[in-house]
Amino acid sequence: MKRIRLLVLLSALAIALPIGILSGVAKAGGSTGSTSQLSIDQNAQYDALGGIIHVGLRARCPASPLPGTILVNVKQYPPETVLYAEGESFVKEVVCDGQTHTVGATVFGANFDEGRALATATFTAGGTGSAQRWINIIVMPS
């Protein structure tokens, strides 16, 4: 009986992973059939005034002389903050060499507070994809 449950679970995982059901992961297909990947870190940090959020990302794109680009948007809703808060980063460039790189994007906005927020990142590198994830905003250590 345990083997049947394990086989059902493994079968579901085998179907879910290629489809991209895992939250916060984006795949962008290029013209050569290779893909780029982007994931959003679970935690982000904000400054004491609540106007700047630092979002961590992991990005990978096939080797290319041109860099990939990432644009990040963060939205926070009450009751996490008193007023609705939204901000966007400047375009962040990523080296496309087939390796995974840790990237930080600085999001500018207002009224952010500690708590949950919705982060969306758009990745362009030979194709376009996006990742979306609920993140935890924490106070930046001083």
CA atoms within 13 A on the CB side of 23: 9
Phi, psi (5° rounding) for residue 99? -105, 155
pLDDT at 5: 40
Residue type, 80: E
pLDDT at 4: 41
**Better pLDDT: 74 or 9:** 74
**Could you tell me which of 8, 29, 18, 15 has the C-alpha nearest to residue 126?**
29
pTM of the predicted protein model = 0.74
- Walk me through the domains of the chain, giving residue ranges and CATH numbers: 23-139 (2.60.40.2550)
**C-alpha to C-alpha distances, 134 to 12, 69, 92, 116, 121, nearest whole angstrom:** 23, 21, 21, 7, 12
- With beta carbons less than 8 A apart as the criterion, state whether 52 and 72 touch: no
pLDDT at 142: 62
Q: What pLDDT digit, counting tens, does each position of 26-85 carry? A: 444 433 446 889 999 999 998 877 789 999 999 999 999 999 999 999 999 999 989 999
Q: What percent of the chain has pLDDT over 90?
A: 61
Q: What pLDDT digit, counting tens, does each position of 121-141 carry? A: 999 987 888 999 999 999 876
**Could you tell me which of 74, 84, 77, 25 has the C-alpha nearest to residue 54?**
74
CA distance 120 to 140: 21
Average pLDDT (88-112) is: 94
